[in-house]
Amino acid sequence: MYEILKTSFVAWILILLASQSIAELEIEITRGAGKRAPIAIVPFGWEGENLNAPLDVAGVIGADLQRSGRFRPLPNEDMLQKPNTGVEVDFDDWTILGIEAIIVGRVTQTGLNAYSIQFQLFDVFRREQLIGYRMPASRGTIRRVAHRAADMIFEKLTGIQGVFATKITYVTVEQNGSSRLFKLVVSDEDGENETTIRESTDPIMSPAWSPDGRRLAYVSFEEDSEPAIFVQTLRTGNRIKVSSRRGVHNGAPAFSPDGRNLVLTLGSIDGNLDIYVMNLSNREVKRLTTDRSIDTEGSWSPDGKQIYFTSDRSGGPQVYRIDSSGGVPERITFEGSYNSRPRLSPDGKKLAIVHLDKGNYRIGVLDLNNGNFLILSTGNQDESPSFAPNSDKLIYATRQGQNGVLETVSVDGLIRQRMGSGRVDVREPVWSPFPRL
Amino acid sequence: MKQMRVFLISFLAAIVAGCASTSVPDPYSTSDDSDMNGSIDDNTDVVSTDGGRTYSYEDGGIDGEAVPFEDEVEMTMIIYFDFDQFDLKPQYVDLLSRHANRLSNNLATNIRLEGHADERGSREYNIGLGERRSQSVRRMLLIQGSTAGQISTVSFGEERPAAFGNDEESYAQNRRVEIKYLN
């Protein structure tokens, strides 16, 4: 047995910033809002060397807006005209089709690997331009620039900041015979550009973004099948092992809003799990909880003053809140026998949790101001809720057959999307912060 | 090869059970080779002749155990727990006393207790549940005379399930502690 064990100890594989793989995430809207605004995104014009632009920018923008569940883009074949600039737009043609807003634009090559994306958004009813921008891009950045254009259009039309240029991270598990391969993956919010950050035959779990979106903290069992917390810089692949106390758990990391501290869970030799805060500059830890119960899954309030966590000090798991400098924990959740893994919305108003609802583990959102509680998911083993940086929707993991897939849902529960083919077990999604511009 | 060995062990176990006894009669016991060295203790008094209830690696048998006659015999020991429970079921007391004896007779031997949870609920909380289960086993081994330094624990929570179904049968196989001999 020891030989087998030893083999598995050394069998873990390390890949730093590995190659991009085939997209595991394909998106399907499973439920939309009642009224979706009819809009038109006209295919963009192209001026440049090759026959086609390096990216179908209008296609990316249209897919983003459609995926938001708030818009119904007009199919290209139904368009009566295909203008590329505002002066070419005949508003009568769009009024007849009932279109409320129209987006036109073009991509112009300005250098060997330099492009200019120009777009305008018009209100068809008032026949006026709402926004118009010109943005530089390269082949490497053009998709991100298209997502940023979609963000600007979305914000203008809805008043809500768009998240199309954000990223998500998640863990996938592939079963290869008797061995399993865990991958920590980062992709665009729409599932494109999947990049494997880390691979191991031992478990990888609990990823967390740094507030600047440049680093990930996560738990990996790659060294002797013992848990350790790593912080990895995405751009370079460099990583630091910040906590690896032997013989006890090192888990559940989450960055403080200023990025200087990590809340984490450490075990004691008798197995008791407690919440600690680590100063990342000197790795000193301060213990916050001392109860002889499971205290874990710490999550910061957006102002950094409080930490929400799971504790079963009352019997079953419930969410508690403690000052990040220490103090007496205060119980937050009371509804039901199981409430765990709290995550705060970035605006600080809502708390997402895993809630046991009549035998089903589902994602619930508690309004911290008025105490209203809403169950947002419909599966029986849903987990790992994480808010988008605009606090308008969440991503979580649910089950499709034996595998985990990801779903997003708007905070009002009206718009739900499923991501993932179901071919690979996907779990523990975490939404990135807004990108730094 | 492994199957042959398990068979051989069970055969020997049946013989031992047939001519040996335990000082504390235990209906779950199949033999009383409590010092795990293959010899049979004194004060024998036959209490069981149905021996051969053998732990099987293949089916993850819950209610029996192999009886090693040599230290080099490979064995995987798995202890199962009820839903939301961390207390050891009575049937495991005898098994753990054998492990405790083996540890106290071989002070250089180290084991690792790997705690697991079923996959319902949140992952880091499930790490806590797995840890509690491995601590239950650890405490029992310490009570029965093992040295703390010989026993380490780890919890994998729900990350390494033994069964993959979404049903109670699979969940029951996943709520477990695996005893791993490290040397």
Last residue of a domain, one of B54, B75, B96: B75
Query: What local confidence, expressed as pLDDT, does residue A31 receive?
Result: 56
Mean pLDDT of chain B: 71
- Long-range contacts: A408-413, Cβ < 8 Å, 24+? A409/A363, A409/A376, A409/A377, A410/A33, A410/A69, A411/A345, A411/A350, A411/A365, A411/A376, A413/A374, A413/A376
pLDDT digit string, tens, across residues B21-38: 333 333 333 333 333 343
| Percentage above 90 pLDDT, chain B | 50
Domain spanning A32-158: CATH 2.60.40.10: no
Same domain, B28 and B83: no
Same CATH fold assignment for domains A2-26+166-431 and A32-158: no
Query: What local confidence, expressed as pLDDT, does residue A401 receive?
Result: 84
Taking the CA of residue B181 and the nearest CA in chain A, the distance in Å comes to: 7
Same domain, B173 and B156: yes
Domain that holds residue B128: 77-183
Residue A73 has phi, psi (to 5 degrees) of -70, 140
Same domain, B1 and B56: yes
- For residue B77, what pLDDT band results from cuts at 50, 70 and 90? confident
Query: What local confidence, expressed as pLDDT, does residue A292 receive?
Result: 93
- The string of DSSP letters for A280-303 reads TTT--EEE----SS-EEEEEE-TT
Query: What local confidence, expressed as pLDDT, does residue A402 receive?
Result: 83
Going by C-beta distance under 8 Å and a sequence separation of 6 or more, which residues neighbour residue B84?
B129
Query: What local confidence, expressed as pLDDT, does residue A33 receive?
Result: 55
Question: How many CB contacts within 8 angstroms connect chain A with chain B?
Answer: 100
Same domain, B102 and B166: yes
Query: What local confidence, expressed as pLDDT, does residue A425 receive?
Result: 93
Same domain, B101 and B179: yes
Same domain, B172 and B91: yes
Same domain, B56 and B91: no
| Chain A hits for B119, Cβ within 8 Å | 381
| Chain A hits for B164, Cβ within 8 Å | 402
Query: Which CATH number belongs to the domain containing residue B116 in this structure?
Result: 3.30.1330.60
Q: How many domains does chain B have?
A: 2
Q: What is the pTM (predicted TM-score) of this model? A: 0.82
Task: Indicate which of A3, A8, A178, A205 best probes the interface with B, i.e. most B CBs within 10 Å of its own CB.
Answer: A205
Contact B135 A271 (CB under 8 A): yes
Query: What local confidence, expressed as pLDDT, does residue A150 receive?
Result: 98
Same domain, B90 and B179: yes
How confident is the model over B63-78, as a mean pLDDT? 53
Same domain, B183 and B113: yes
Is the pLDDT reported for residue B50 higher than 50?
no
Least confident of A356-370, B47-61, B63-77, B112-126: B47-61
Higher pLDDT pick, B13 / A269: A269
Is the pLDDT reported for residue B66 higher than 50?
no
Last residue of a domain, one of B43, B60, B75: B75
Last residue of a domain, one of B75, B110, B137: B75
Same domain, B5 and B57: yes
Closest CA to A169 of A350, A384, A339: A384
Which of A203, A249, A312 lies closest to B131 in CB terms?
A249
Please list the rounded mean pLDDT of every run of 10 residues in chain A (437 residues).
Answer: 39 33 52 78 96 96 92 96 96 96 97 96 96 96 96 96 97 89 96 94 98 98 96 96 96 98 95 96 96 97 98 96 97 97 98 97 97 95 97 95 91 88 89 87
User: How far, CA to CA in Å, does B117 sit from each of A179, A298, A354?
Assistant: 19, 20, 17
Which of B123, B135, B160 lies closest to A383 in CB terms?
B123
Asked if A170 has any chain B CB less than 8 Å from its own CB, the reply is no
Same domain, B60 and B148: no
Is the pLDDT reported for residue B75 higher than 60?
no
Superfamily name with CATH number, domain A2-26+166-431? TolB, C-terminal domain (2.120.10.30)
Domain ranges of chain A: 2-26+166-431, 32-158
| Chain A hits for B183, Cβ within 8 Å | 2
| Chain A hits for B127, Cβ within 8 Å | 227, 249, 251, 265, 273, 296
